Structure formats: structure tokens, C-alpha cells
Amino acid sequence: MTASARKIIHVDCDAFYASVEMRDHPEWRDIALAIGGRPETRGVIATCNYLARQYGIHSAMASATALRLCPQLLIVRPDMARYRAASQQIHAIYQAFTERIEPLSLDEAYLDVSGVTLCQGSATRMATAIRTRIREEVGITASAGIAPNKFLAKVASDWNKPDGQFVVRPQDVAAFVAALPVARFFGVGKVTAARLKALGIHHGADLAAADPLLLTQEFGRFGERLHQLAHGIDKREVEPERDRKSVSVEETYARDLPDLAACRAELPELLAQLKSRISRAGEPPLRALVVKVKFADFSQTTVEHAASTLMLDAFGRLLETGYARGQGRAVRLLGLGVRLGNSDARQLEFEWEED
């Protein structure tokens, strides 16, 4: 099947945890609401409703910071059992349309509907029908993106949030990607976006025209990946019932971290981000902690240790080991991650998520 013949839908529930809470507690629908840990226990926001987002609150933010931004914010602890039950209902709806489903977390998934004859074979109509059923049967809203590949479908699902959808037709791919801000590209965080803009790369058109060698020198293999995406190329298949093997976060720093103390100072923020991503994945069992260190000369190392809980001190010890391997070199990137599943699971290449 050619890339242009593929029909991929990315469905992403709107503020999933918060939406389930507002469904079950109607009195919370018109207030700023967040799901996360208490500020006195150094809690972190997992997600929040759209009213809270108007105050600048977002996932991975410290709960104490969120309360400073919005003193009337209601923070409730997550109820994973209810969220999993809602997720199972949603997954059953997907199965009515296709067997090719790749869950990314409890609240989002890719669906390959290529060749499906429902809704007259229209992926756009299927996405509308799926969203309607989620609203009527689960009681929450979802947004969707429809496109010829996973990258574009995921971008499109965020285009008309909340409770909307957007389609990127095969004939529109080139123009759509050309106008796309670099910050919208998969894996591009604030630091990478700033580095791209410093190179004069602001949109997909700039990225597509950039020298591939320069991108590789600046960003390694991720630079090659960005250049492909800038041409609308994403050959990844939808992988049904994929078991996620790892969760990670990483940050590339605008200025190299000069010593171990500077590296240690970055760990709490990275750990907060990691906790948020693990929560979105449904809090699966952990089997190992991993620290990645990339030095100023682009050499890198990873260190890991078996563990079943997240501990800042444990990450600190792994960081110390990794930093020592650099023999005092400055650090340009730090990453924290966890391996998931049972301890007897076979070793797999770690899937680092770009900053």
C-alpha cells in the first residue's frame, strides 16, 4: 500500500483525567480543576481542564506552582481504576471500526482504517462517528486527526482541540508541512525549537531546505528524522496492541552544564516531567531506572539499575556514575527514563523521547 493510500486516525481524548472527573462530578465542570499530587508532598500536575490552562497551568508543573498561578485551583488525586474503565470503553469503540489499533496511553491511540468500508470508506466520517460514540457512551469528548501517516495524524488531532478534528489530505501534505512551525514537529521541545530557530529554521519549509548534514551534526539521528518529517515522510506502521517498553524524558540545554552539581540541579524538573508521562501511560510497573548523559563532544553514555519505584536519590547515583565516565567534560543533554514490565523481560533498545 502506498503512503498516499494509507488512512490513519489519531484520537486523543480532551483533558482525559479531568474530563472523567467532571463527568462524575458535575459541580466541578465550571471551576479550574487539576489532577495530581498535593503541593505539600512536592506533587506534580498530571493534567488539568481547559479552564485551568487559561491560568498557564500544564502537565508536569509542580502543584505548588499551579496553586500560585491559580489559588482557587482544585487539585484531586488521580483515580486510575475509573480512568482505566473509561479507557476500556473507548478501546471497545475503536474495535468496532478496525483491528489495527496502537494505544499510546489510556487516552490516545492511532487507528489504521486503510481499506475499511464503514462510513463509505471515509476516514473523516469514521473519525466523526468514533468521537460521537465516545461522547454518547463514555460521556467525555475527544479530538481526532486524519492523515496519510502517523506524524501528520498526531499533529492534526491537536489542530482543533478540544472536541474537534482536522484532516490532512494526501494532496495537501506538502503545503501543510511547509507551513508547520518547527515546535509542532514530533519530538521538538522548547530547547530544540530554540536551536532550530537559531539556525534560521522556523517552519517545515526551512527544515526541508536545510542541509541534512548540518541537521545530523547538530541533532544526531534525530536530525535525519526531522528532515524526513519535513518532507512529509513517516513510514511507521500502526502497531496493534503494542506493549510500551519504556518511558523517558530528556532535555538539551542551551548552555552546557559545567559540572556534576549543575547536572544534579536539573534532576527534580526532569523527574517531575517523567512522573507525568508515566501517569499518562497508566502507571505501569517499573523494572529499572535509566539515566542518559550526552557530553559537549557529543559522546554519550547510559546507566541503569533495577528498581520498582521512582526515587530522586537513585537517579542521582546513576547520574554520578554516568558523569564520571565523561572525565569532567561539560554536559549538553540529560535524560531520565524507566523500563517497564517484569524484571525478567528481555533487554531492548531504550526509546528516548526527545526533549
Q: Average pLDDT for residues 281-294, to the nearest whole number?
A: 87
**The pLDDT of residue 302 is above 50:** yes
pLDDT (tens digit, 9 = 90+) per residue, 143-162?
Answer: 999 999 999 999 999 999 99
Whole-number Cα distances in Å, 119 to 12, 102, 340:
20, 21, 38
pLDDT (tens digit, 9 = 90+) per residue, 178-234?
Answer: 999 999 998 888 888 999 999 999 999 999 999 999 999 888 888 999 999 999 999
Q: What pLDDT does 190 receive?
A: 80
Whole-number Cα distances in Å, 24 to 20, 51, 170:
6, 17, 40
Where does residue 198 rank: exposed (0-12), middle (13-18), buried (19+ CB within 10 A)?
exposed
Rounded Cα distance between 60 and 275, Å, is 7
**The pLDDT of residue 299 is above 90:** no
Nearest to 288 by CA among 309, 319, 312: 309
Q: Lowest-confidence range among 8-22, 242-256, 270-284, 340-354?
A: 340-354
Give the cell for residue 23: 463527568
**The pLDDT of residue 352 is above 50:** no
Q: Does 172 show up as a binding residue in the annotation?
A: no
Q: Does 107 show up as a binding residue in the annotation?
A: yes
283 carries an active-site annotation: no
Q: How many helices (H) and strands (E) does the chain have?
A: 13, 12
- pLDDT-derived band at 298 (thresholds 50, 70, 90) equals confident
Degrees to nearest 5, angle at CA 299 with 294 and 303: 55
Degrees to nearest 5, angle at CA 37 with 34 and 42: 125
Q: Name all domains of the chain by residue range, CATH numbers in brackets.
A: 3-14+81-171 (3.30.70.270), 16-79 (3.40.1170.60), 174-230 (1.10.150.20), 246-340 (3.30.1490.100)
Rounded Cα distance between 305 and 263, Å, is 19
Q: State if pTM tops 0.85.
A: no
CA 13 from chain centre, in angstroms, equals: 13
CB atoms within 10 A of CB 196: 25
Strands, DSSP E only, in 32-94? 33-36, 45-48, 74-76
Degrees to nearest 5, angle at CA 257 with 320 and 196: 130
Stretch (H or E) spanning 84:
helix 80-95
Q: Exactly one of 108, 250, 251, 304 is catalytic; which is it?
A: 108
